[in-house]
């Protein structure tokens, strides 16, 4: 396989892994994380006390995790948000990949013994293996920030324009799906899939969930605006300040929605589901990080080699 093709595959696998973490943030809902209802993240941790055959893991769960579950929930949310954010843009990828592999182990041990679960246990072994492949291939050097930072300012400006264009495209899609919700506020529409299979009574019995992001028109327009600033700022070293303004906007947006903690997801069937804001915070945080790093790199001017 030639290097350009392999680079696209490796970089694509890293982005796909980032999306995997991002798509599983919405159901980790703070501040209780399911402890008050017996659902969400709590149900998987609690099931370890009944079903896990590994005594040390059971002891850790019973004595450390469950008595301090809300703290554990916040740690889980922040770690997985950072995994999604950093893998999407490919920054410090080798370290992040090792963290992702290690973090996947307790997930495997918690989920495969959950009551009534129909999980395919091999998927979690593959998840661990995928992170190890990202580590071994230094996947951030392919379509990622790690690779761009090792090159010159022109490459950084091109990458900055691409990041801004992706943000604009996501914002436009968000604006399209957000037509059914109010302009601003806690209501949000899904950018992704929530399709399912219905039984003879019309009830959804199994959903095919790809819940990536949630938008109202205001958040979509801000995503388009800040993305446009990244594109404008990528034009030359003199316009870097514009790109930094866009990156700052994404950073503020990420912090605001993360502090908000929850959205009211308005589903197609008219029901409202309370979901975590972390998936949006991860994306906007990734765009902020990429914007800052690429803008700073693009402002550097190559020094011509001296003659003789």
Looking at residue 206, its pLDDT comes to 57
* Biggest alpha carbon–alpha carbon distance for the chain: 83
Phi, psi for residue 203 in degrees, rounded to 5: -85, 140
d(CA 256, CA 246): 15
Structure tokens at 39: 């659902």
Neighbours of 302 (CB within 10 A): 8
List the end-to-end C-alpha distance of the chain, in Å, as a whole number: 40
Cα 23 to Cα 39, 73, 147, 248: the distances in Å are: 18, 17, 25, 24
pTM: 0.91
The per-residue pLDDT for 118 is 62
> What is the spatial distance between Cα 21 and Cα 89, in angstroms, rounded to a whole number?
13
Q: And the tokens for 178?
A: 């957000």
What's the pLDDT at 203? 65
What are the DSSP E strand ranges found in 131-288?
187-198, 204-215, 262-266, 272-276
Name the residue ranges covered by the structural domains of the chain: 1-147, 151-308
Overall size of the chain counted in residues: 308
**pLDDT tens sequence across 130-185:** 999 999 999 999 999 999 999 888 899 999 999 999 999 999 999 999 998 999 98
Would you state the pLDDT for residue 136?
97
Pairing of strands 262-266, 272-276: antiparallel
Q: How confident is the model over 273-296, as pLDDT tens digits? A: 999 999 999 999 999 999 999 999
The parts of the chain modelled with pLDDT lower than 50 are 1-2, 302-308
- In 3D space, the residue among 228, 279, 237 whose CA is nearest the CA of residue 258 turns out to be 279
Close Cβ partners of 133 (under 8 Å, ≥ 6 residues apart):
13, 139
Report the 3 state secondary structure along 121-137. Answer: CHHHHHHHHHHHHHHHC
């Amino acid at each position: 396989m030639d290097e350009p093709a392999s680079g696209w595959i490796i970089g694509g696998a890293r982005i796909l892994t980032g999306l995997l973490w991002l798509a599983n943030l919405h159901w980790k809902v703070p501040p209780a994380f399911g402890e008050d209802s017996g659902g969400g993240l709590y149900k998987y941790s609690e099931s370890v006390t009944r079903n896990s055959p590994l005594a040390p893991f059971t002891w850790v769960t019973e004595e450390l995790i469950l008595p301090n579950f809300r703290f554990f929930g916040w740690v889980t949310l922040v770690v997985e948000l950072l995994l999604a954010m950093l893998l999407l843009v490919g920054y410090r990828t080798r370290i992040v990949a090792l963290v992702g592999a290690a973090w996947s182990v307790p997930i495997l041990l918690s989920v495969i013994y959950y009551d009534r679960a129909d999980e395919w246990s091999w998927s979690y072994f593959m998840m661990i293996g995928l992170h190890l492949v990202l580590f071994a291939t230094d996947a951030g050097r392919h379509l990622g920030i790690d690779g761009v930072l090792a090159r010159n300012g022109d490459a950084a400006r091109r990458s900055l324009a691409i990041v801004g264009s992706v943000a604009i495209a996501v914002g436009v899609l968000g604006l399209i799906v957000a037509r059914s919700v109010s302009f601003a506020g806690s209501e949000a529409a899904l950018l992704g899939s929530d399709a399912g299979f219905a039984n003879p009574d019309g009830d959804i019995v199994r959903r095919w969930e790809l819940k990536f992001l949630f938008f109202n028109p205001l958040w979509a327009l801000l995503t388009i605006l800040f993305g446009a600033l990244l594109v404008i700022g990528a034009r030359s070293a003199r316009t870097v300040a514009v790109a930094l303004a866009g990156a700052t906007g994404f950073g503020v947006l990420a912090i605001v929605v993360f502090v908000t903690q929850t959205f009211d997801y308005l589903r197609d069937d008219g029901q409202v589901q309370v979901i975590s804001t972390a998936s949006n915070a991860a994306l906007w945080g990734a765009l902020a990080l990429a914007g800052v790093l690429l803008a700073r790199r693009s402002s550097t001017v190559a020094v011509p080699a001296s003659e003789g």
